[in-house]
Structure 1
Amino acid sequence: MTQAFDIVIVGAGMVGAALATGLGRSGFRVALVDRGSAPEFDPSLPPDIRVSALSAGSERYLNDLDVWPGMLAMRATPYARLAVWDETRHPLSNLLPRKVADVVFDASNLSARHLGHIVENRITQQALWNSAAALNSVSLFPDNAVSHLENGDHHAAVTLEDGTELECQLVVGADGAASGVRELAGIGVTKDQYQQQAMVISVRYQGPVEDITWQGFYPSGPRAFLPLHAAGNGESWASLVWYDSPEQLAHLKSLDNRALMAEIQNAFPPELPLLTHIEAKASFPIARQHAKTYVNNRVVLVGDAAHTINPLAGQGVNLGFQDAHCLQTVIREAKRAGCDLADPEWLTKYEQQRRPANRRMMMVMDVFYHLFSNRTPPLHLLRNLGLGAAKAMPFARNRVAKYAMGIDDELPPLIRQLAERLPGMKQL
């Protein structure tokens, strides 16, 4: 038996569940399909190894969906400062202060209480999943995947692995970087694999919860600290990220926790607090990927299904939430105008708004990647001059901060000019 909906969303991760909530609250009949089941949060358990730095813009969107208060009631750690500095050794390293050109972005300079929150992915996903499930207009199909897609002129339909058939006006692919919907719709991608990989380590350290997240840049890649919640007994949780070659990360993963802790304490900047415990570790390859189109007839892509970026600043999910917010606005306007939800005029507006914005963030992340992840002396001078200028010019620094917070859509001109010259940018 075929079930009829306005929209079928495939992928109930953070972005897909947010879109389902937003559309369901607007009265659309939505089917939400996911390979997994509802995530569960247990406050007695250690933090999820997967965390995201949610921007102020994402907070506003989640608050509009009425899920942000519930997330705060679980666990979310605000950060008021973000620091960046260069840790590369150079001929004058022994003569100059260690951080000649460190840059600190401070919420107080923006008349804000914080720059964002570090939140465990399972908390965000559970809050959104629960919100979508509570709506009568949203039907969940967990533990299921799409086996067939019909992308017709007058309607779309998906067949699930258990044989269930769902008919609709529009199918949304929110099923991640390896999107099955994107493949079934015949949408290609451009992809660049970075030489580095990223290792994420969940740790405890001595001291109170910090209000700063920082990244020290090394030739082999950045090493980052993201504060989490208190652990009790004078300790706190944090998430560390170590970018390096696949060979080096394979070596680190082979170490027992005691040896790994010693390696971390020695290799990270001295700003790292004294570690007391390693809870979990994992590594993953990183790539820049962009769908050649976000729309094919009655199929539209959002989040990682449409684009993935270098995770240097944890901006991926923020871009996904911006996609979701934009698409639900466009769909509402199409309905108000009495149009088919897959009307090309309206879906083109979505792509025209989101593709340039996503491309800009890709450019920013690649500027940092190419500028910092090397030992070339001229680039070492250039990046320190750049950081020094940012430190000396509060207006420019605050523009960058507002862009990262999702407050300002405009990319600072110098970064845009640098990014346009990077390899592979023309094809995005």
Structure 2
Amino acid sequence: MQHVDIAIVGGGIVGLTLAAALKNSELSIAVIDKAACYQPLSEKPTARVSAINQANIKALQQFDVWNYLQQDRANPYTDMHVWDKDSFGDIHFSCGEMGSDALGIIVENQALVNALAEAGEAQSNVQLVTAGIERVLAGPNQTMLMLDNDEVLSCRLLIGADGANSFVRKQAGLPITFKDYEHTAIVANIKTDEPHNNVARQAFTPTGPLALLPMVAPNVCSIVWSQTPEQAASLMALDDEAFCNALTAASNSKLGMTALETKRSAFPLTMRYARQWAKDGVVLIGDAAHTIHPLAGQGANLGMQDALVLAETLSSLNASGKDIGLYKNLRSYERSRKTEAMKMIAAMDGFKFLFDGNDPFKKLLRGIGLSATDRLGTIKNAFVSHAMGL
């Protein structure tokens, strides 16, 4: 039986960010995932991407993760353009307004996971374990994990970073609240007639938002098209040419005609919020604790901030000789991150309500709001600063 201080279940972006953030601690860490964290990248970019803000980029640079990132699979975006398709509302954000060279980067999820995994393998206090968990035995001072490779691992603290359907959350009996967003997200990569010029674009349509995220190739974007389930089913049923025609119309032909670079995939969107994020010996981070609508592209950033705050909490506890597995010592993390997640969930609900449908009053209100914000420097800078995570 092996023993570590911390067992992180989930070798995705959030779980591996936590391991990286504990690089300089004296804590021993095992990151456990059914599949190997590092996976060779496909020849062409995949459509599963994240928009990582400047605050999290700086953290990854600080932990030397950036040196491992395959640079041709990550693209900085310098501007954002948001508009209401059927109204006069229109707003532009630029990194120049904040004295920065970029607002963030669009990176393939697997490329970032690979960089984090390579950084983890170089850490003396981290081991990556490829195995599933068959059984969890929780004791007063440690938790034992029975793995499907016939190994047993014990830890002082078990961390659930294993996604929306978290096994750790279920095993710990931590309650969750959820709500159907009544949207289905269609994801794909597209090729456009016009270059994207490193601008992230988002159009709000009556049936849901369409995001066009600039990839490394100047004429390739990753799309996240959130639509009502009925509209999404209709779009998925179209042939490629008809789908691209509908996409071009929804984007007001901002980048000219479009063509598919990858297959389309679709998945339903659900808000989840764990009512309790921790108990003795267990704590949640990332999608295991919360999932939000992707319309602002903040899901990964929110989870990474969970990891960074928890790392700071655990490092401080360990340095002062306090028990890292005691719930009362984890309460400060739980309180601060629950508050931030709740704010983000409320903001997404507000945006979704305001930009849904063809109600004339809402169209007028959002048109005035977007146009006024575009002209008011203080409010606009606050939006940009928040988007950058600053």
Indicate the residue corresponding to 1:418 in structure 2.
none
Q: Are 2:313 and 1:313 aligned?
A: no
Q: Give the aligned length.
A: 390
- 199-208 or 398-407, which deviates more: 199-208
Rounded to whole Å, the distance in 2 between the matches of 1:106 and 1:265 is 24
Q: Are 2:21 and 1:22 aligned?
A: yes
Indicate the residue corresponding to 1:122 in structure 2.
110
Q: Secondary structure at 1:39's aligned position in 2?
A: coil
**How far 1:276 moved relative to its partner?**
4.0
Indicate the residue corresponding to 1:402 in structure 2.
385
Q: For the structure 1 residues 194 and 130, does the alpha-carbon distance in structure 2 shift closer, same or farther, using more than 3 Å as the test?
A: same
Indicate the residue corresponding to 2:253 in structure 1.
270
2:46/2:262 contact within 8 Å kept: no
Rounded to whole Å, the distance in 2 between the matches of 1:160 and 1:198 is 34
Indicate the residue corresponding to 2:85 in structure 1.
87
Q: 1:283 aligns with which of 259, 266, 273?
A: 266
Q: Are 2:225 and 1:242 aligned?
A: yes
Rounded to whole Å, the distance in 1 between the matches of 2:68 and 2:79 is 24
Give unmatched runs, 5+ long, in structure 2: none
Q: Secondary structure at 1:47's aligned position in 2?
A: coil
**How far 1:286 moved relative to its partner?**
0.7
Q: Tell me the TM-score normalized by structure 2.
A: 0.95
- 337-346 or 12-21, which deviates more: 337-346
**How far 1:198 moved relative to its partner?**
0.8
2:50/2:108 contact within 8 Å kept: yes
**How far 1:147 moved relative to its partner?**
2.2
Rounded to whole Å, the distance in 2 between the matches of 1:121 and 1:145 is 21
Q: Secondary structure at 1:280's aligned position in 2?
A: coil
Q: Secondary structure at 1:279's aligned position in 2?
A: coil
Tell me which amino acid in the other structure corresponds to 1:82.
Answer: M
Tell me which amino acid in the other structure corresponds to 1:195.
Answer: E
Indicate the residue corresponding to 1:36 in structure 2.
35
Q: For the structure 1 residues 289 and 309, does the alpha-carbon distance in structure 2 shift closer, same or farther, using more than 3 Å as the test?
A: same
Rounded to whole Å, the distance in 1 between the matches of 2:236 and 2:259 is 18
Q: For the structure 1 residues 282 and 50, does the alpha-carbon distance in structure 2 shift closer, same or farther, using more than 3 Å as the test?
A: same
Indicate the residue corresponding to 1:193 in structure 2.
180
Indicate the residue corresponding to 2:71 in structure 1.
73
Q: Secondary structure at 2:219's aligned position in 1?
A: strand
Rounded to whole Å, the distance in 1 between the matches of 2:318 and 2:54 is 29
Q: Percent identity?
A: 35
Q: 1:366 aligns with which of 345, 349, 355?
A: 349
**How far 1:339 moved relative to its partner?**
1.1
Please identify runs of 4+ aligned residues in structure 1 that moved more than 4 A. none
Q: Are 2:105 and 1:107 aligned?
A: no
Rounded to whole Å, the distance in 2 between the matches of 1:240 and 1:287 is 19
Q: Secondary structure at 1:353's aligned position in 2?
A: helix
State the superposition RMSD in angstroms.
Answer: 1.6
Q: Secondary structure at 1:367's aligned position in 2?
A: helix
Q: 1:382 aligns with which of 365, 370, 376?
A: 365
2:89/2:371 contact within 8 Å kept: yes
Give unmatched runs, 5+ long, in structure 1: 90-99, 408-428
Q: For the structure 1 residues 259 and 39, does the alpha-carbon distance in structure 2 shift closer, same or farther, using more than 3 Å as the test?
A: farther
Rounded to whole Å, the distance in 1 between the matches of 2:195 and 2:354 is 34
Q: Deviations over 1:107-146 (max 9, x none)?
A: 111111111111110111110011112223212211x222
Rounded to whole Å, the distance in 1 between the matches of 2:99 and 2:50 is 23
1:5/1:30 contact within 8 Å kept: yes
Q: Tell me the TM-score normalized by structure 1.
A: 0.87
